[in-house]
């Protein structure tokens, strides 16, 4: 379903020149419903008459006028408009390409992160005071007692931080934002709000399939409140600290009262 569409005002005014108010109204409502139904608007006179808020007789009269003028056509039981069909095809092609590229970029980034972990990097850890080289054990490795191979679980933070303390976004994510949104300004605003790179990539994938990606990103920027704050201590510790402070205040008050 397409919720937004652009209108060439000059072409619209030229195409509807000579139409009465009701004829242009019916034409506009049918075009809007074609966009809403993704070019699958059933040729149902009663439903369309209710959509145009007029009687069935008046709607059928204006429908026939639009058919005679070549503004609409009926094909396979559906009302269609040549310009609407062409514009919808462009939207579908653009959304499909952007969505595929976003998914490919996100998948490639995850694969690179996985390869980086499984690439044979070695970590040193202490086991009973002795340094043991740790590596990733292959899936088909036989079980060996007291093996020195230790399976290391990859630990990645939700968002890698850069020098300025903000999440680090890969170059591919910036390039994708430029292609989907026509610029990287909105992605920069998400980074300024500390949105993790994986969440930003998923949001871009949604925006790529949306008819108005900039508006979707704008709403996401407005509604995102940043990651949840990290508490420095638990509630129990906070209550204990408060109780200690109250005891000190009472002790000081008793001292001065004495």
- Do residues 6 and 35 make contact, with C-beta atoms less than 8 angstroms apart? no
With respect to residue 114, please indicate whether it lies within any of the assigned structural domains: no
- Do residues 90 and 84 make contact, with C-beta atoms less than 8 angstroms apart? no
With respect to residue 91, please indicate whether it lies within any of the assigned structural domains: no
Same domain, 52 and 64: yes
Same domain, 142 and 220: no
Same domain, 210 and 230: yes
Rounded CA-CA distance 246/240 in Å is 10
Same domain, 246 and 164: yes
With respect to residue 90, please indicate whether it lies within any of the assigned structural domains: no
Name the residue with tokens 């969440």: 199
How high is the mean pLDDT in each 10-residue block of the chain (258 residues)? 80 91 94 90 93 94 94 93 89 78 77 69 48 43 41 41 71 83 81 80 82 81 69 69 81 73
With respect to residue 63, please indicate whether it lies within any of the assigned structural domains: yes
Same domain, 165 and 256: yes
Same domain, 147 and 171: no
User: Could you tell me the residue range of the domain that residue 223 belongs to?
Assistant: 159-258
pLDDT at 80: 93
User: What is the CATH number for 71?
Assistant: 1.10.10
pLDDT at 192: 79
Of 156, 182, 217, which residue is a domain's last?
A: 156
Rounded CA-CA distance 42/55 in Å is 18
Same domain, 56 and 148: no
Same domain, 143 and 175: no
pLDDT at 90: 86
With respect to residue 4, please indicate whether it lies within any of the assigned structural domains: no
**Please, is 204 exposed, middle or buried when counting C-beta atoms within 10 Å of its C-beta (0-12, 13-18, 19+)?**
buried
With respect to residue 57, please indicate whether it lies within any of the assigned structural domains: yes
DSSP state, 164? T
pLDDT at 160: 53
Let me know the angle formed at the C-alpha of 135 by 132 and 140, rounded to the nearest 5 degrees: 125
In this structure, the number of other CB atoms found within 10 A of the CB of residue 104 comes to 13
Q: What is the domain count for the chain? A: 3
With respect to residue 166, please indicate whether it lies within any of the assigned structural domains: yes
Of 108, 133, 156, which residue is a domain's last?
A: 156
Same domain, 61 and 135: no
With respect to residue 215, please indicate whether it lies within any of the assigned structural domains: yes
Q: Are strands 73-75 and 130-134 parallel, antiparallel or unpaired?
A: unpaired
pLDDT at 232: 56
pLDDT in tens, 123-161: 544 444 444 344 444 444 444 444 333 333 334 444 455
Same domain, 168 and 238: yes
Closest CA to 202 of 227, 229, 173, 223: 173
Question: Does the pTM of the predicted model rise above 0.75?
Answer: no
- Do residues 187 and 204 make contact, with C-beta atoms less than 8 angstroms apart? yes
Rounded CA-CA distance 106/220 in Å is 19
How many angstroms separate the Cα of 253 from the Cα of each of 53, 243, 249, 250?
79, 15, 6, 5
Same domain, 50 and 127: no
How many angstroms separate the Cα of 45 from the Cα of each of 41, 63, 248?
11, 9, 83
- Do residues 187 and 71 make contact, with C-beta atoms less than 8 angstroms apart? no
In this structure, the number of other CB atoms found within 10 A of the CB of residue 134 comes to 17
pLDDT in tens, 111-126: 777 777 766 555 544 4
Same domain, 254 and 189: yes
pLDDT at 92: 82
First to last CA, the chain: 79
Of 55, 80, 105, which residue is a domain's last?
A: 80
């Amino acid at each position: 379903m397409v919720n937004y569409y652009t209108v060439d005002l000059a072409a619209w005014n030229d195409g509807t020149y000579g139409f009465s108010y009701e004829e242009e109204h019916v034409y506009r409502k049918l075009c809007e419903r074609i966009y809403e139904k993704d070019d699958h608007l059933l040729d149902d006179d009663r439903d369309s008459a209710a959509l145009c808020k007029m009687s069935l007789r008046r709607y059928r009269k204006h429908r026939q006028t639009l058919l005679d003028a070549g503004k609409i056509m009926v094909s396979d039981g559906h009302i269609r408009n040549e310009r609407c069909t062409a514009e919808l095809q462009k939207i579908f092609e653009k959304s499909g390409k952007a969505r595929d590229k976003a998914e490919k970029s996100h998948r490639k980034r995850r694969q690179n992160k996985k390869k980086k972990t499984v690439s044979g990097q070695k970590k040193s850890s202490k086991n009973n005071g002795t340094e043991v080289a740790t590596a990733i054990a292959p899936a088909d490795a036989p079980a060996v007692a007291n093996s020195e191979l230790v399976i290391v679980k990859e630990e990645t933070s939700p968002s890698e931080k850069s020098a300025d303390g903000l999440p680090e976004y890969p170059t591919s994510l910036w390039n994708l934002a430029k292609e989907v949104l026509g610029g990287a300004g909105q992605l920069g605003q998400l980074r300024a709000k500390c949105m993790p790179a994986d969440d930003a990539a998923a949001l871009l994938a949604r925006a790529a399939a949306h008819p108005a990606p900039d508006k979707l990103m704008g709403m996401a920027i407005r509604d995102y409140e940043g990651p949840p704050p990290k508490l420095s201590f638990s509630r129990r510790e906070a209550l204990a600290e408060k109780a200690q402070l109250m005891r000190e205040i009472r002790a000081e008050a008793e001292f001065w009262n004495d």
